[in-house]
Amino acid sequence: MPNSVDAAFRSSRENECYVFVKNKYVVVNYAPGGKKNQIIKGPDNITDGFPMFVNTVFQWKIDSSFDTEDNLAYLFSGDQCVKIDYSSNSPGNARVQCFNPYYSPYSQGNAIDQRVMPQGNAIDQRVKPQGNAIDQRVKPQGNAIDQRIKPDNSPYSQGNVKPDYSPYSPGNARLLEGPIPISKMFPCLKGTVFESGIDATMWNPNPEFVHFFKGDECCLLRFQSNEMVSAGKIRSVFKIFLGTVFEHGIDAAFNSHVHPEVYVFKGEYYVHYSFNDPNSFKNGPIKLISDEWPALRSLL
């Protein structure tokens, strides 16, 4: 298998995860039990789903990533780190599909969010009013825009805007911080092997702590206070990996929506592991990714 999983993190939707391989990514249904053969979206270029990574190292490869409970994610590439919002329910992420020209807040010079700056009658290059028509997609007939749009009382629409909250829409993710050096985002890593790059991450069962992996080393961070609590060899901290390919390094890992379970990848292998049972793997022994994750075969 020429490629391996570079990074992964769980989606805001249950049983779905983002998986990155080189400059591509897919959204996969990883529901426990059975083979992971359902692709929700992709494969696509990283920059198709995360256009803010154009002209950065992140457009070519993401080394590792982890999400937080508030739909934020930290992504690493080389010695760089970013913080993004990938939530499907953030008002700042909504795309306006259509709006009513008779009651449009734009016609009053009002902008829905900071991305839209009205200039005269034109909102931006995407909107070119022609008479009563907002653009070529909107053909007003009486008071109805089309059969797809029905005014409601949405706080975002003021009765005439239908926001699209799809988490898979291009450009939906927002860059909150970075790219900046890992040692700036996580100052406690300065002077350690981890400041030059992170191979994989996973949350500890205690939500205050997160594990970082680099080569055969791992460390435990107290996330909120940005404090390194401990560091050591993978085989010493995760004794279940002793004698397996995982004791020498981990390519990627992500926490399941089922707490405190985690999926771990190395080369052509993966395991499904629970912190509640540190002496055995879930669903049997170490398995081949190509056998159990058919959805990833086109990337691997």
| d(C-alpha 20, C-alpha 78), whole Å | 15
Rg from Cα positions in the chain: 22
Q: What angle do CA 107, 111, 113 make, to 5 degrees?
A: 155
Alpha-carbon 286 to chain mean position: 26
- Residue among 42, 85, 50, 51 nearest 67 (CA): 85
Taking only the tens place, the pLDDT of each residue in 91-122 is: 333 332 333 333 233 333 333 333 333 344 43
Sign for the pseudo-dihedral over CA of 46, 52, 56, 58 = negative
- Report the DSSP beta bridge partners of residue 227: 222
Superfamily for 7-89+170-296?
Hemopexin-like domain (2.110.10.10)
- Taking the CA of residue 236 as centre, how many other CA atoms within 13 Å lie in the half-sphere pointing to its CB? 9
Residues 202/74, Cβ–Cβ less than 8 Å? no
Burial group, residue 12, by CB count within 10 angstroms (0-12, 13-18, 19+) = middle
54 pLDDT higher than 60: yes
Residues 220/208, Cβ–Cβ less than 8 Å? no
- Report the DSSP beta bridge partners of residue 141: 144
Alpha-carbon 124 to chain mean position: 28
DSSP codes, 167-191: TTSTT-SEEEEEEEEHHHHSGGGTT
| d(C-alpha 276, C-alpha 199), whole Å | 24
8 pLDDT higher than 50: yes
| d(C-alpha 104, C-alpha 98), whole Å | 10
| d(C-alpha 36, C-alpha 18), whole Å | 13
Mean pLDDT of the chain: 78
Taking only the tens place, the pLDDT of each residue in 126-148 is: 434 444 444 444 444 444 434 44
Residue 168's pLDDT is 52
Taking only the tens place, the pLDDT of each residue in 266-285 is: 999 999 999 998 888 987 78
Burial group, residue 218, by CB count within 10 angstroms (0-12, 13-18, 19+) = buried
Within 10 Å of residue 114's Cβ, how many Cβ atoms?
A: 7
Write out the E strands in the chain: 7-10, 16-21, 24-29, 38-45, 64-67, 72-77, 80-85, 95-99, 161-164, 174-181, 200-203, 209-214, 217-222, 227-233, 252-255, 261-266, 269-274, 282-288
Sequence-distant (≥ 6) Cβ neighbours of residue 174 within 8 angstroms: 52, 84, 85, 90, 92, 93
The domain locations on the chain are: 7-89+170-296, 95-164
Residue 169's pLDDT is 52
Higher pLDDT, 264 or 95: 264
Taking only the tens place, the pLDDT of each residue in 201-254 is: 999 999 999 999 999 999 999 999 999 999 999 999 999 999 999 999 999 999
Residues 39/295, Cβ–Cβ less than 8 Å? yes
